[in-house]
Structure 1
Amino acid sequence: MKHKIKFIGAVLVLAVAIPGYADTARILEKSVKQSIDTRQETQKQQKAWEARKIELTARYGQLLSENEALIHAFNQLSGEELKQQKLNQSLAQEKLESIRIQEEMLPFLRAVQARLELLVKNDTSFLGKERTTRLAKLSHVMDDIDVSIAEKFRKVMETLFIEAEYGNTIEVYQDKIQIGANEVQGNIFRLGRISNFFLSLDKKSAAVFNVRQNQWEMLDDKYIPGLAGGVEMAAKRRPVELIDLPLGSLAKK
């Protein structure tokens, strides 16, 4: 600004000293002033642009960082999407396999159910009410369309397991049997699935169930002591030991 004042002052001195120079000096002064103003404006704009450049550079760097983060997130999501696609394909395959198993499983379970019913029908006579009731409940489950295949499988296997266990256990329970025209109360001794024996409460008569004839038959009195021992063992009132009992017929004709 000082240089500008000095320059204008010099121009005025020349304008006074030289005749006719006043107009030229004013023109020159105006031109110089415009030049200085233009330069100052240019400097202001340059500073403004420098500040804007710094701002834009910082913003550009920030956008680059955000872009890198977004690319990383995109790659992660793409990987997760691929995993989900594979999982969906696996689940769809499992669903098809499950449908196939269900379609094959139901006839199998029906066949096992039929064999269980035939077994109980042709088996030795013991726990008749309990076993037929269990089979009736199983039949209800098998016929219910709202029951899943898994539950039907569980119920069939449960019934099968119980029936299988009868072959490995002995038990005694009280019941009435029909011998001829007489109905007698006593203890029924179940020897696995091999045979069922009967001992009257007064221990004076014994019988064995004939599977082929589907009826009770009287036993010789010589078997009463052994049968009494079997009843005591089944009731856990006596240690297990060998006893002499007739097996009778094991199956129906």
Structure 2
Amino acid sequence: MRLFAVSTLLSLTLLYSPAGFGQDPLLKPVVDAAAEINTQAKNSQIRVETIADSTQERIQQYKQISRQIEGLEVYTAQLQKQTDNQNREKAELNASIDEVSVIERQITPLMLRMINSLDKFIELDVPFLPQERAERLASLEQLMERANVDVSEKFRRVMEAFQIEADYGRNIEAYNGSMTVNGQPQDVEFLRIGRLTLIYKTRDGSQMGLWDQQQQQWQELDQSYASDVREAIRIARKQLAPDLLMLPVPAPQSGSGV
């Protein structure tokens, strides 16, 4: 209202002063003051518009930052969930590690007892493949002393040795070896049928022997079995198809399994 009134006064002053009445010295200060006021009003209007534009820009910036904050809050909440899950998994892993440590302390003595039992069993068993079985035992004993091998791998190897020994009782095998016959070392062929029968035959077939588990010694085998022994050796080597053979089989002893 004030700006409008001053502008009106200025207009009326300019309207009457130059045309009809001339420039009255008494009105000049009023005219100048009105012009100054009008100029200041324009400048004020410009500042108001500038401030309004700046305020609008800041409002837009505020809205944009608010949206960014909302997005960050959602992202932070998701990260917190992931962190909580990782902390739970970490706690479960630590608990599992503690349990593994307890199991490791318990299973190592068990494996040592198993190896010791296997050693005694082989010592009392039918004496086939002595070197191979002795090397397997020695390998297990060395393995147990190694710190860079996991307990799981040690246990697997021990169980593998037990499985191999168990399989010996369910298959037939022929292999070459050497033994002392009549005081002389000779190359011979061995025939093993499970753990029941262990026979040797010299290369020329002139001598054969059968292991007597009860007496813990070799007994001479009659030459009447020579043909069946040769055929059984060929079957064991997969050179012949399985067939019915007549071979000496001692009565099994109790407690002969692994």
Smaller-chain TM-score range?
A: 0.7 to 0.9
Q: Partners in 2 of 1:252 and 1:89 — Cα distance?
A: 51
| Structure 1 residue 249: Cα displacement | 6.6
Provide Cα deviations, 1:126-148, integer angstroms capped at 9, x if missing partner.
11111111111111111122322
Question: Is residue 2:119 matched to residue 1:113?
Answer: no
The one of 10, 21, 24 aligned to 2:16: 10
Contact persistence 1:178–1:184 (CA under 8 A): yes
CA RMSD across the alignment: 2.8
Q: Partners in 2 of 1:219 and 1:252 — Cα distance?
A: 24
| Structure 1 residue 201: Cα displacement | 2.3
The one of 102, 110, 124 aligned to 2:126: 124
Contact persistence 1:187–1:200 (CA under 8 A): yes
1:117-156 counterparts in 2 under 5 A? Answer: 117-156=119-158
Question: Is residue 2:252 matched to residue 1:246?
Answer: no
| Structure 1 residue 13: Cα displacement | 7.6
TM-score, normalised by the number of residues in structure 2: 0.84
Gaps of 5+ in 2: 1-6
| Matched length | 248
Q: Partners in 1 of 2:253 and 2:128 — Cα distance?
A: 14
Match of 2:217 in 1: 215
Q: Secondary structure at the match of 2:169?
A: helix
Q: Partners in 1 of 2:156 and 2:242 — Cα distance?
A: 34
Match of 2:4 in 1: none
Provide Cα deviations, 1:204-233, integer angstroms capped at 9, x if missing partner.
332111223332111233333332222221
Q: Partners in 2 of 1:106 and 1:241 — Cα distance?
A: 46
| Structure 1 residue 251: Cα displacement | 5.6
Provide Cα deviations, 1:6-28, integer angstroms capped at 9, x if missing partner.
634635789869xxx844x3442
Contact persistence 1:195–1:209 (CA under 8 A): yes
Q: Secondary structure at the match of 1:178?
A: strand
Q: Partners in 2 of 1:252 and 1:182 — Cα distance?
A: 34
TM-score, normalised by the number of residues in structure 1: 0.85
Match of 1:51 in 2: 53
% identical aligned pairs: 22
| Structure 1 residue 122: Cα displacement | 1.0
Q: Partners in 1 of 2:57 and 2:248 — Cα distance?
A: 108
**What letter is aligned with 2:16?**
A
Gaps of 5+ in 1: none
